[in-house]
Copies of this chain bind each other. A is one copy, B any other.
Amino acid sequence: VSSQTRDALIDAAEALLDGGGQDAVTLREVGKRVGVSHNAPYKHFSSKEALLAAVAARELDHYRDAILRARREAGSPLEALRTSLHEHVNRSVAHLERFHLIYGRWTTTDAELIRAAHGAYDAMLDLVRAAQASGSLPPTDPERLAALLRATAHGAADLAAAGHLEPEGKGRSDAAGLIDDLLAQLG
C-alpha cells in the first residue's frame, strides 16, 4: 500500500524527527509540509505512532540493505561484518533520533515494523554464520554471537551519542573502535 501523499508524509515525519526528536513530529507540521490539512495523515495512518512506525521500518530496511551490500562488496565475511558494524554505529550516531525511535517503546505491534526488524536481524545472523564458516569467528552458537555483536554495536552507538564514551578525552574510545576491540578479542 503506497501513495504519493503517504510517502510524502513519511518523508516529512522523518525530517522533523531528525530535526528535533519525536516531540517535533507534529501532525500539524507534517501536514503543512506536505500541503494537506493537519488531520489528513489519519487517512493514511491510524495514529501518529503508526506514521512513526513507517519511518522506523524504512530505517531498519536501510540497515538490512547495508549488510547485504557489504557482503557483496567486501573481500571476506569478516571484513563485511566489520564494515557493516562500523556503518551501523556511524549511521546510528548520525541519525540518532531514528535510532532511538526504533528501540523506544511501541504501544502498537506494527506488522511492517516487525518484518523490517526481522529482516535486519536475519541479514546480520547470516553474515555471522558466514564469518564462522570462514574461520574468522569462534564456532559458538551463532545466535548468541550475533546478539553479542549487535549489543556491543548498539551500546557503543548510544553511549557515543550521549557523550558517555570519552569523558576525559584520554584513551579515546569511539564507537567504531570498540567494534574493532571486540572483533580482535573474538579473532
Contacts and interface: CB of A to CB of B under 8 A. Distances in A.
Contact of A151 (B105, B152, B170): B152
Interface string A5-48: 00000000000000001000000000000000000000000000
B144 A177 contact: yes
A151 B178 contact: yes
Interface residues of A, number: 42
Given A118-B167, A151-B152, A103 B143 contact: no
Given A96-B105, A185-B186, A147 B173 contact: yes
Given A155-B152, A182-B148, A141 B105 contact: no
A117 interface: yes
A174 to B, nearest CB: 9
Nearest to A97: B105
A52 to B, nearest CB: 13
A100 interface: yes
Given A100-B105, A144-B171, A152-B155, 16 more contacts: A21-B105, A103-B162, A103-B164, A117-B164, A118-B167, A141-B173, A144-B173, A147-B156, A147-B173, A148-B181, A151-B156, A151-B165, A154-B158, A155-B156, A182-B182, A185-B185
7 contacts: A96-B105, A144-B178, A147-B159, A147-B173, A150-B164, A153-B155, A185-B185
Interface of A: 21, 96-97, 100, 103-105, 117-118, 121, 140-145, 147-148, 150-156, 158-159, 162, 164-165, 167-168, 170-171, 173, 175, 177-178, 181-182, 185-186
